[in-house]
Structure 1
Amino acid sequence: MSRRISFVEVGPRDGLQNEKTLVSTADKLELVRLGLDAGARRIEVASFVNPKRVPQMADAEAVCAGLPSVDSVSYIGLVLNGKGAERAIATGRLHELGAVCVSTDGFAIANQGQTSDESLDVAKAIVGMARDAGLKGQATIGAAFGCPFEGEVSEDRVVAMAASLAEADPIEVALADTIGVADPAHVSRLVRRVIEAIAPLPVRVHFHNTRGTGIANVWAAVEAGASVVDAALGGLGGCPFAPGAAGNVSSEDVVYMLHRAGVETGMDLSKLIAANHWLAGVMNRKLPGMVAQAPAFPKIVQEN
Structure 2
Amino acid sequence: MPTPAKVKIVEVSPRDGLQNEKQFIPTDIKVELINRLSQAGFQNVEATSFVSPKWVPQMADGAEVMAAIQRKPGTIYSVLAPNMRGFDGALAAGADEVVIFGAASEAFSQKNINCSIAESIARFEPVAEAVKAAGLRLRGSISCALGCPYQGEVDPSAVVDVARRYLELGCDEIDVADTIGVGTPARVERVMKAVTEVVDPARVAGHFHDTYGQALANILASLQAGISIYHASVAGLGGCPYAKGATGNVATEDVLYMLHGMGIETGVDLDAVVDIGQWISGHLDRKAASRAGNALAARKAA
Which range, TM-score by smaller chain? over 0.9
Corresponding residue of 2:50: 48
Q: 1:22 aligns with which of 13, 21, 24?
A: 24
Deviation of 1:296 (Å): 7.0
For residues 131 and 158 of structure 1, what CA distance do their matches in structure 2 show? Answer: 23
Question: What do the CA deviations read for 1:42-96 (whole angstroms, capped 9, x no partner)?
Answer: 10000111111111111111111112132101100012222222221222x2100
Equivalent position SS for 1:259: helix
For residues 203 and 265 of structure 1, what CA distance do their matches in structure 2 show? Answer: 16
Question: What do the CA deviations read for 1:260-301 (whole angstroms, capped 9, x no partner)?
Answer: 01111111110000111111111011021111111479x89x
Question: What do the CA deviations read for 1:2-42 (whole angstroms, capped 9, x no partner)?
Answer: 11111110000000011112111000011101111211121
Equivalent position SS for 2:77: strand
Tell me: CA distance 1:81–1:232, structure 2 relative to 1, closer, same or farther (3 Å).
same
What residue identity is the alignment partner of 1:210? T
Tell me: CA distance 1:50–1:284, structure 2 relative to 1, closer, same or farther (3 Å).
same
Deviation of 1:116 (Å): 1.4
Tell me: CA distance 1:82–1:238, structure 2 relative to 1, closer, same or farther (3 Å).
farther
Corresponding residue of 2:257: 256
Corresponding residue of 1:57: 59
2:92 paired with 1:90: yes
What residue identity is the alignment partner of 2:85? K
Deviation of 1:179 (Å): 0.7
2:4 paired with 1:2: yes
Gaps of 5+ in 2: none
What residue identity is the alignment partner of 1:88? A
Corresponding residue of 2:270: 269
For residues 110 and 78 of structure 1, what CA distance do their matches in structure 2 show? Answer: 20
Tell me: CA distance 1:296–1:279, structure 2 relative to 1, closer, same or farther (3 Å).
closer
**Structure 1, 150-159 or 161-170: larger mean CA deviation:** 161-170
For residues 120 and 98 of structure 1, what CA distance do their matches in structure 2 show? Answer: 13
Deviation of 1:125 (Å): 4.0
For residues 47 and 222 of structure 1, what CA distance do their matches in structure 2 show? Answer: 29
Equivalent position SS for 1:167: helix
Residue-pair matches, total: 297
Gaps of 5+ in 1: none
Deviation of 1:162 (Å): 0.8
2:234 paired with 1:225: no
For residues 86 and 108 of structure 1, what CA distance do their matches in structure 2 show? Answer: 24
Tell me: CA distance 1:239–1:123, structure 2 relative to 1, closer, same or farther (3 Å).
farther
For residues 65 and 131 of structure 1, what CA distance do their matches in structure 2 show? Answer: 22
Tell me: CA distance 1:125–1:218, structure 2 relative to 1, closer, same or farther (3 Å).
farther
For residues 195 and 117 of structure 2, what CA distance do their matches in structure 1 show? Answer: 18
Tell me: CA distance 1:110–1:22, structure 2 relative to 1, closer, same or farther (3 Å).
farther
Question: What do the CA deviations read for 1:102-125 (whole angstroms, capped 9, x no partner)?
Answer: 112332244444321122223454
Tell me: CA distance 1:296–1:24, structure 2 relative to 1, closer, same or farther (3 Å).
closer
Corresponding residue of 1:284: 285
Equivalent position SS for 2:142: strand
For residues 259 and 243 of structure 2, what CA distance do their matches in structure 1 show? Answer: 30
Could you say what the CA RMSD is over the residues aligned between the two structures, in angstroms? 1.9
Percentage identity across aligned positions?
38
For residues 43 and 114 of structure 2, what CA distance do their matches in structure 1 show? Answer: 32
Contact 2:105/2:158 (<8 A) preserved: no
For residues 209 and 84 of structure 1, what CA distance do their matches in structure 2 show? Answer: 29
Question: What do the CA deviations read for 1:199-246 (whole angstroms, capped 9, x no partner)?
Answer: 266111101111111111111112211121100000011465x45463
For residues 283 and 202 of structure 2, what CA distance do their matches in structure 1 show? Answer: 38
Equivalent position SS for 1:31: helix
Deviation of 1:128 (Å): 2.4
For residues 59 and 111 of structure 2, what CA distance do their matches in structure 1 show? Answer: 18
For residues 86 and 275 of structure 2, what CA distance do their matches in structure 1 show? Answer: 34
Contact 1:77/1:88 (<8 A) preserved: yes
For residues 204 and 232 of structure 2, what CA distance do their matches in structure 1 show? Answer: 15
For residues 84 and 243 of structure 2, what CA distance do their matches in structure 1 show? Answer: 26
What residue identity is the alignment partner of 1:198? V
